[in-house]
């Protein structure tokens, strides 16, 4: 008994990794129509300083917790900064404001910064901060193997998505990738 075209369903891809398709002409037009306030702040005065302030506040917070050693404090500071950075720049897609008709709904913030251009001053800075924090945290943990592995894995988790090879590349653990239409 032959099946109707409506009854035949395509199977979802079983791959966890997929590439986001390029924007349509309408999306590109919408992106060019208005400035992207979601990603412009990274080039504003003081935007780079806030990273150091957040790192210092995190370090102070972990230092005042009783029973936390300096090694653990540096590692927790690194993990906290990296987790926040990953969540903010690589996990959340779209724009939290409703002013651009969904033009950036399929792009994460890292892909929105400087219109997706690679190796701009802002992107270089945002790539160097987790690397610098990794170097500080491994130095102050006295290169202990356990802390070194934890800090390395945490830093790689946020540095790899920033590389050009990972541009528009998605890893979906919690939601299935979109159907190939």
Task: Please give the pLDDT value at position 181.
Answer: 44
Q: Which residues contact 120 (CB under 8 A, 6 or more apart)?
A: 113, 114
Structure tokens belonging to residue 55: 């790192």
Q: Examine residue 177 and state whether it is found in any structural domain, yes or no.
A: no
Q: Examine residue 98 and state whether it is found in any structural domain, yes or no.
A: yes
Q: Examine residue 3 and state whether it is found in any structural domain, yes or no.
A: no
Instruction: Tell me how far apart the alpha carbons of residues 81 and 93 are, in angstroms, rounded to a whole number.
Output: 19
Instruction: Tell me how far apart the alpha carbons of residues 94 and 176 are, in angstroms, rounded to a whole number.
Output: 18
Task: Please give the pLDDT value at position 8.
Answer: 46
What is residue 33's three-state secondary structure? helix
Q: Examine residue 6 and state whether it is found in any structural domain, yes or no.
A: no
Q: Examine residue 157 and state whether it is found in any structural domain, yes or no.
A: yes
Q: How far apart are the first and last CA of the chain?
A: 26
Domain containing 29 equals 17-171
| Locus of tokens 């990953």 | 86
Label residue 130 exposed, middle or buried (CB < 10 Å: 0-12, 13-18, 19+): buried
Instruction: Tell me how far apart the alpha carbons of residues 9 and 57 are, in angstroms, rounded to a whole number.
Output: 52
When divided into structural domains, the chain yields a total of: 1
Q: Examine residue 85 and state whether it is found in any structural domain, yes or no.
A: yes
Q: What does the angle CA 63 – CA 50 – CA 139 come to, to the nearest 5 degrees?
A: 45
Instruction: Tell me how far apart the alpha carbons of residues 118 and 164 are, in angstroms, rounded to a whole number.
Output: 7
Label residue 140 exposed, middle or buried (CB < 10 Å: 0-12, 13-18, 19+): middle
pLDDT in single tens digits along all 181 residues of the chain: 455 444 444 445 556 777 877 877 878 777 777 788 888 899 988 999 999 999 999 999 999 999 999 999 999 999 999 999 999 999 988 888 777 777 888 889 999 999 889 999 999 999 999 999 999 999 999 999 999 999 999 999 999 999 999 888 887 766 655 554 4
Q: Examine residue 121 and state whether it is found in any structural domain, yes or no.
A: yes
Q: Examine residue 8 and state whether it is found in any structural domain, yes or no.
A: no
């Amino acid at each position: 008994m032959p099946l109707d075209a409506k009854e035949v369903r395509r199977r979802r891809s079983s791959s966890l990794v997929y590439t986001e398709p390029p924007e349509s002409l309408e999306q590109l037009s919408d992106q060019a129509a208005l400035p992207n306030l979601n990603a412009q702040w990274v080039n504003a005065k003081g935007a780079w300083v806030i990273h150091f302030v957040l790192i210092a506040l995190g370090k102070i917070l972990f230092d005042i917790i009783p029973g936390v050693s300096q090694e653990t404090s540096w590692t927790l500071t690194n993990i906290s900064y990296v987790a926040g950075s990953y969540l903010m720049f690589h996990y959340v897609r779209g724009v939290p404001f409703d002013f651009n008709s969904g033009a950036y709904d399929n792009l994460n913030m890292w892909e929105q910064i400087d219109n997706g251009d690679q190796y701009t001053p802002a992107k270089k800075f945002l790539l160097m901060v987790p690397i610098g924090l990794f170097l500080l945290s491994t130095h102050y943990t006295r290169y202990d193997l356990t802390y070194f592995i934890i800090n390395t894995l945490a830093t790689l988790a946020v540095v790899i998505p920033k590389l050009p090879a990972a541009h528009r590349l998605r890893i979906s653990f919690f939601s299935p990738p979109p159907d190939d239409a």
